[in-house]
Amino acid sequence: MIAETLQELVAPIESGASIALPPTRSGPAIAATRALIETGAKDLHLIAIPTSGLQADLLIGAGRVATMESAGVTLDEFGQAPRFVDAVKQGTLKLKDTTCPALVSALQAGEKGIPFIPMRGLIGSDLLKHREDYQVIDNPFARSGDPIVVLPAIVPDFALFHAPLADRHGNVWIGKARELMTMAHAARHTLVSAEEIVDEDLMADPLRSPATIPAHYVTKIAQAERGCWPLGLAGCYDLDAEAMSAYARMARTAEGFAQFLEDGPEPAQQVAAE
């Protein structure tokens, strides 16, 4: 349950796996993503729930991604995700563009163990036109015609994210980032890095258990101090604007991107990983 290193945490992810990733403000596991790049696993299918940024860009830049399924890939105030944009222009990525609520709804279908879920919207968009896996059905409960889109359930092979706190039993405290709960419920395996791993049982604490993913859903956890760096983690630390600006600048070229990876994580993380 508790992995000694981030390398051990991500070791189960093999080439061709699908991985659900959280949005930038809900704890992207950047340190663990660096470890994943080192394993050499490739042809990954990334599923952003519902958007991604640096985390997807790192994996794409490292040549590990075959399919990008998302409603948005962006570095937010630091601009476009440069490796994503470059891969789109080169045509090296299979794109499954969609809209935020479609990803969350389809993941909820996965959580419920049902084959599909209907959703409003999408009809008449080019998103729908390019998604052969989405279908339009007639609402069977309507008196007159009511077309509605149905989305196949998303059951990711892995959910990978970073959380502020976990315990040695494998329970993971996520605060308000409820999409992480849905990800863990839907995924076959959930891999979590955490700022801190404590001895007490988080599920036994009535104040914290409502915002805690029970260990039942969690495959492995590992400790990683400042595991989102250079991104921030709500309630723990702010985003490192200087490092994000540096990334946005360097990753405009493949060489600069390689240099950013080689420069490695900031010192605090290296200490934690040793």
**Sites of contact with other proteins (CB under 8 A):** 23, 25-26, 49-51, 70-74, 76-77, 80-81, 84-85, 88-91, 95, 97-102, 104-105, 108, 119-128, 130, 144-148, 176-182
Q: How far is the CB of 211 from other proteins (least distance, A)?
A: 9
Q: How far is the CB of 70 from other proteins (least distance, A)?
A: 6
Helix, strand or coil, per DSSP, at residue 100: helix
Residue 191 parent element (H or E) = strand 189-198
Helix, strand or coil, per DSSP, at residue 240: coil
Nearer to other proteins, 12 or 101 (CB): 101
Nearer to other proteins, 144 or 242 (CB): 144
Q: How far is the CB of 50 from other proteins (least distance, A)?
A: 6
Q: Give yes or no for a contact between 231 and 267, defined as CB atoms under 8 angstroms apart.
A: no
Nearer to other proteins, 27 or 265 (CB): 27
64: Cβ–Cβ under 8 A, 6 or more apart, which residues?
A: 36, 37, 41, 42, 43, 44
Q: How far is the CB of 111 from other proteins (least distance, A)?
A: 11
Nearer to other proteins, 2 or 211 (CB): 211
Q: What is the Cα–Cα distance from 240 to 8, expressed in whole angstroms?
A: 27
b/e code 103-127 from CB counts within 10 Å (16+ = b): bbbbbbbbbeeeebbebeebeeeeb
115: Cβ–Cβ under 8 A, 6 or more apart, which residues?
A: 109, 152, 153
**Neighbouring-strand partners of residue 46:** 19, 68
Nearer to other proteins, 36 or 104 (CB): 104
Q: How far is the CB of 221 from other proteins (least distance, A)?
A: 21
Q: How far is the CB of 192 from other proteins (least distance, A)?
A: 16
Q: How far is the CB of 264 from other proteins (least distance, A)?
A: 27
Nearer to other proteins, 100 or 246 (CB): 100
Q: What is the Cα–Cα distance from 125 to 98, expressed in whole angstroms?
A: 10
Q: What is the Cα–Cα distance from 138 to 150, expressed in whole angstroms?
A: 10
Nearer to other proteins, 50 or 265 (CB): 50
* Helix-helix angle 241-250:254-263, to 10 degrees: 140
